[in-house]
Structure 1
Amino acid sequence: MTTQLAGDGSNELHRLATHKAMLRLIPLMCAIYFMSYLDRTNVSLAKARLAVDLGISASAYGLGAGIFFLGYALLEVPSNLAAHRFGPRRWIARIAVTWGALSAAMMFVTGEWSFYIIRVLLGVAEAGLFPALMYMVTLWFAPKDRSVAVGWIYTAPALALVIGNPLGAAFMQMDGLAGLHGWQWLFLLEGLPTVVVGVVLWFKLPEKPADARWLSNDEARVLEARAVPDAAHARIFSQDWVAALKQPATILIGLIYFLNQVAFVGLVFFTPAMIQQMHVKSSLMVGVLSSSVGIGFLLGVLVLPRIHRRVTNDCVYLGVLTAGLVVSAIAFISSTHLLAQLALFVATAFFAGGVLPLYWAIAMKRLHGIQAAAGLALINTIGLIGGFVGPYLFGLAESASGKSAAGFSVVVAASVLGLILVPLLAKAIRSESRAAASLNELRLNIEP
């Protein structure tokens, strides 16, 4: 049956099944990732009030904002192995409920140490969410469709920035209601809905095509067949998950992702502060203008993965996008006009956020089964450390210069280093492809 489904006559069936999976599965995955990004970044809107109400300095805020990613990174690989063991549906729902509760608990912060502790616990609770979503993509979608699927998933954090900043700013206007600060309402009203989403996912999220009631048997089979085109090849490379952690291409993708996150996460957490220093007084207007980063991010993940479908050389495309990030960041540093800077917020986020699906599409071509669970988690772990380093460096830059916009020098430095690593990644991919071809040829020669 698998051979029949793999033939040319199954292309239309696969196209329709993929379209159906995109419509039914992606919105559920987007919902949880939307809440994830909303809950991890809403602290940026509370930065100024945390300084006034609790005495949390810019450098302490940068440490607390970034330390979330340390807790997250420590448990990425074991958490995603648990997702492989227990099933992504159960594990993602568990993650959502625990981190939603902890996000709401941010309202009880009283100073720097409680701020640090809850941010670490929040990262621990959320560990494994994104690689579990990426692992699900490898179970459902053919390699040619994955960058688009991941691009749709990345619309969730982009929309969280576009919608979340104005929404969070509106919650901040509730200051004094029921004796709570505005930032306490912010954490409470954005944390509890995550628990609800987690419960919904427990009942509604199918783990693999065979579990989806809205797919016919033939549709489920063709999705699974195309998701892993060569099952025998996949078994050879999937038996030892530790091997995935040693592959040079996996490590290099992780390092490039790390540098991207240094730049992009720092930008996300410090954009409201930069807007405030542009003499924007209204907290609501700060939230609205800060959504410029989300707009650029959203445009990037909608446009760039679709161009990637027509690109034959992944690393050349990756290099072009990374160079675009360098240019836009340098242009921001050189600009002094408010409207130009807002446009460059959009451009910088377009490249920094729009490139993200490409990292995962490159990695997914080389990882299958439990190796995908482990390798994708390792890449995300390395990237998450960048999510810690970025806000911390942005905080140090602001403390040293007195200007939040000084963080753009961090964007330039990180992006240049990432650009230098792209040719090394291309070389590692070529070497691994030759080794895989040799091993596959050896397998064909020894099999009866």
Structure 2
Amino acid sequence: DKLNVQFHIPNEDEVDFACEFVETFIYPELQLLNEKCSKMSTEERLRSLTLVHYMSIGCLRMVPRIDSKLIDNLVPSVAPYGSKYQTQYSIYAKQPQFKENLRMRLLIDVGKLIDVIVENHSDDASSIKIALKIYSLSSIYYGVFKHDADKLHKHFEAAKGSFINKLYGERQYPRFLMIERITLQCERFSLTNFQSLTEIDKQVILKLFELSIHRYSEVRRDAQGYLFSVLNRYLFSYQVIVDRIIELLNSPSDIDHDQIKGCLYILLGNHSFFLPTKHSWSMIERLWPAMARTTHAKKPTTQRLMDHINETIGKQFDTQALVEDTNDVSRKAAVDIWKPLDPVDLESRDQIRQQRNEENVQSYNNLMETLNSLLRGDSLTWRQQETTMSLMWLLLQKRVPIPSSCIRTFVDFLVHDNVELRKISEEGITAFSRLQKP
């Protein structure tokens, strides 16, 4: 209040003009692309898509989210992971009115357009990239890009350090810096709002996934980048693609090599998304054995990808909680901070938590037994055995008993012909000894 910040609020005439401008120019371009996409030259197609792209960036802040059914139970959780009330703060004097929800129109038209371009003009990489960008923006963009917010945050932190006055205390900043902080908070609100997955968003993810394993490398690479952006936007949305990935890894050896490469690149992720270490024991129980026994990592390119994935797992995997409990001190603190809890409600939540803990322990034991049976069998190559044993070594913990068969396997592999397997076995035995300490 003391800052008395004055933001410009677009008046009714400005809002009406913006809506009229968008409808005047975006619909003819979409119609042109729908009717004459295959007949257009590469330059004409790129021109139309670029216009649609920048108009979408300009107007999607004004367009509400597509009304679609929420997808529940992506993960078992006592507390809801999505907000029941998802708001989009208004910055206009009146609610913008369009003929229809432009997000849905863009998803439908651009989705069909992508199929046509990929099928008939797969060499037009620039148009494919712009079309994929528009398609993903329709699902995740609400006025702010994450990289813009990150850039503003870095600038704010740098400026804050320059204006610290130790004579007055660290929180005495110039007015413009406080306004910049308010702007940053507003942008972060936009980025963290609408994080519950809907059926429409699920279809976007599945389409981007199929394009991410396409036979053309340019299509795969561009689609994977936008797929990771969508998966980062929505909480636990990675569960949507897990079954498809496992299906590809377990598929017969005559599957398309490009599909396997695309699948492995999705597993490898990028700097902000890495699927194999997501906190879900039920997912790891199915995914890690499929990675260990897949027969598709025989060519040098796919083998290097698998090695990189395993290396990243080793760097990023932290032993996840199997049994999640709260003590009396935590419960008392929750009551003091919030309110006394209904005993009946507490009992039902305790049952849910207990069931989840039992499922986690069961998934862990199944995972260890499956990896151990793979090592005991004769279906794995030495390289696959190294991968499998390194995964088992990462899973060692002291919260629940480790299956005795796994311990015996580590002991038996101490005299294996492969020196790398012997080294991992030595590390495993060392870990067992440390875990036995009180």
TM score, norm. by length of structure 1: 0.22
Greater relative CO (CA pairs within 8 A, separation 6+): 1
Higher helix share: 1
User: What is the TM-score of this pair, normalised by structure 2?
Assistant: 0.22
